[in-house]
Amino acid sequence: MKYKKIVFGLLLVATSFTACNKELDSLLTNPNYPSTATADVDLYLNKIQLDFNGFFNGASGAAGPLARINYAWGGPFYRNGASPASYDGLWYTAYSSIFSNVDAMIPLAQSQKKFIQSGMARVMKAYTLGTMVDLFGDVPYSEAVKGTDNTTPAVDGGAKVYAEVQKILDSAIIDLNNTSAASAPKVDLYYAGSKAKWITLAKTLKLKFYMNTRLVDKAASTAAIQALLTENNLINSSANDFQFQYGKSLSPDSRHPDYAGDYNNNGGGGYLSNYFMWKVASEKYNGVVTGVTSTSVPATTGDPRLRYYFYRQTTSYAWADASSCPCILNSQYYNATYPIWYPSVPDKTPFCVVGGKGYMGRDHGDNSGGPPDGAYKTQHGIYPAGGEFDYSQSKQLSLGLGAGGNGISPIWLSSFTAFLKAEAVLTLGVTAKEGDAATLLASGVAQSITKVVGFPTAIAYSNASVPSGAYANATQIANYKTLVDGLYSAAATPADKLDVIISEYHIALYGNGLEAYNNIRRTGSPKNAQLAVATATPGIFGYSFYYPSVFVDRNSNAPAQKAIGTAANKVFWDNNPANFIK
């Protein structure tokens, strides 16, 4: 009898507890996984903005080596430059963070009339989606980000996804123009809440993506590009530059990632691209420049951006020997004969070191081991990484040196727009309000120089040790502009003129490997891009990336993995020959 009473009592308690649980369940919310009904639009947007900059950095860093704007650390074959797992983080950031958060946030923002927030989110989604096509080709879109409803999305054709990118940008512009919008976002890391600047960005991105399709859909692209140039609500001045601003904090680390990688107490970090340093430091000044006499532009005139881009820990090669810099024993500075394995290269392309003034990085595809050269290799300067300004001080890097990492991610600058317009005018016959291609080229060069030379002031960099005259002066800037104008005028064919435009665009892109990679695939320029040094047969250029491991290994509907280096693997907008780029 007692046993029955105890059992009954336990059942009563259990029943009561269960009923209690059911009542409490509706009140329980995991703070780590809030429902969309209780989520905050602005907190969503904060996450999207930060992840977007992370995505840009990942895309730029992965694409830059192929364009020779960054050192190609892998190799010597293109297929060895990266592995599928190298792109897992990029893929995850796009699909599991940016796309999923944007898609969850937009309905909530629309219901609250927070149209500025939804417009901003759409712009960042469009940029990310278009970039995924640029890097990987066909990617999931129509079946993607559906959670448990579809865990194995198939890919959509790149052209179809690009069309969706333009639609997303159009929707963003509609949202941003909505006059019934509620309050502006609490935090706008890019444009301080200016919806007008976000609209200008959206239209500039439309131009960017249309320019990529000009090779495969010339008529439609030309009409769309002409309409955008006629309206001209584009990023035409630095006031509208689309960039992410870093800080100086070490903990939490808000510094530019290139600064964080280079500036420590153990010597320099990674290697810079010898080819890119050569283009800035030596290409135009080591001998006669075609079409420009040494009397009109002195051969010693340097690119005004040189000391801002690169920081030399030493200004000579007196330290170099067989142990610290093995390649120098076979370089043109010590021996007139290139190494036996060095292929035929464009005239004056560097090997091992650049010029004779201490610019030391790595050649394209050099896969040799790292000697003890941390105290000698050239590193990122004040622009855009927030490093040290080079005034020939020959000082080893240390934690906190220079601007402390207070740099920027140059996602899209006004100079980029000018160069893109110049390409459009030259190749498509469209008209721009600013004038012809030569005028637009000059504008791009001028805007880039102004941005870089003015950067120390813009970030409040101060160093009393910089001697008078170390910063670029008006004469140097004027000489460089005259030099570029002479090169363009002397170019014999439209293809040669385009090479001048894209070569100058390439120099202005420092810090943005993504657009350099798009440019070299679209135009084949710069034509004198350094060849791989470790082998004469590096395989076919990487016209797109491997699909990430997290996609092909876990998705039964994913395409077969690409064979980079043995097939062209072009993205849909690239119809150039398979051997277009070496």
In DSSP terms, 250 is beta-bridged to 253
State whether the Cα torsion 118-256-387-278 is positive or negative.
negative
Query: What is the rounded end-to-end Cα distance, in angstroms, of the chain?
Result: 92
* Total domains in the fold of the chain: 2
Does 444 reside within a domain? yes
- For 309, the 3-state DSSP assignment is helix
Name the pairing type of β-strands 379-380 and 408-412.
unpaired
Q: Is residue 565 part of a domain?
A: no
Are residues 117 and 225 located together in one domain of the fold? yes
What is the β-pairing status of strands 242-245 and 408-412? antiparallel
Residues 298 and 223 in one domain: no
Question: Is 296 domain-assigned?
Answer: yes
Please check whether residues 321 and 205 belong to one and the same domain: no
Give me 386's structure tokens.
Answer: 């927030």
Per-residue pLDDT tens digits for 378-427: 999 999 999 999 999 999 999 999 999 999 999 999 999 999 999 999 99
What integer pLDDT is reported at residue 569 of this predicted model?
87
Give yes or no for a contact between 117 and 109, defined as CB atoms under 8 angstroms apart.
Answer: yes
> Long-range contacts: 186-190, Cβ < 8 Å, 24+?
186/42, 187/42, 187/45, 187/46, 187/49, 188/49, 188/120, 189/49, 189/50, 189/53, 189/244, 189/245, 190/49, 190/242, 190/243, 190/244
Are residues 314 and 449 both part of a single domain? Answer: yes
Distances (CA, A) of 23 to 15, 32, 371, 396: 13, 22, 67, 66
Q: How far apart are alpha carbons 423 and 338 in whole angstroms?
A: 36
Question: What average pLDDT does the chain have?
Answer: 87
Bond into 494 cis (ω within 30): no
Closest CA to 562 of 580, 539, 532: 539
Residues 225 and 97 in one domain: yes
Q: What is the CATH number of the domain that holds 404?
A: 1.20.120.840
201 and 314 belong to one structural domain: no
Contact by Cβ (8 Å): 309, 272: no
Q: Count Cβ atoms within 10 A of the Cβ of residue 474 and give its class: 0-12 exposed, 13-18 middle, 19 or more buried.
A: exposed
CATH number of the domain residue 127 falls in? 1.25.40.390
Given this model, what pLDDT does residue 115 score?
97
The pLDDT assigned to 554 comes to 93
Smallest CA-to-CA distance from 248 within 259, 235, 240 is with: 259
Shared-domain flag, residues 176 and 293: no
State residue 63's pLDDT score. Answer: 97
263 lies in the same domain as 230: no
The pTM is what? 0.91
> Where residue 536 falls among pLDDT bands split at 50, 70, 90?
confident
452 and 499 share one domain: yes
> Which residue, of 500, 523, 546, is where some domain finishes?
523
The answer as to whether 124 is a domain residue is yes
Give the pLDDT score at 34.
Answer: 55
Q: Rounded distance, CA 314 to CA 394, Å?
A: 4
Q: Looking at residues 541-556, what average pLDDT do you find?
A: 94
Q: Are residues 306 and 172 in the same domain?
A: no
pLDDT in tens, 79-89: 888 899 999 99
Which structural domain, as residue segments, surrounds residue 333?
Answer: 257-523
Q: Over the stretch 229-270, which tens digit does the pLDDT of each residue have?
A: 999 999 999 999 999 999 999 999 999 999 999 999 887 889
Mean pLDDT in residue range 490-515: 97
Q: Is the pLDDT of residue 289 over 70?
A: no
Among candidate residues 234, 266, 297, the one where a domain is terminated: 234
User: What residue has token string 């703070």?
Assistant: 31
Task: Express each pLDDT in 291-329 by its tens digit.
Answer: 334 334 444 467 999 999 999 999 888 888 888 888 877
Q: Examine the domain organization and report whether 289 and 210 are in the same domain.
A: no
What residues pair up with 564 in beta bridges, in sequence order? 567
Q: What's the rounded Cα separation, in Å, for the pair 292 and 284?
A: 10
Residues 361 and 484 in one domain: yes
The three-class DSSP label of residue 165 is helix
Question: In this structure, is residue 203 part of a structural domain?
Answer: yes
For residue 470, is it within any domain?
Answer: yes
% residues pLDDT > 70 (the chain): 86
Where among 523, 550, 576 does a domain terminate?
523
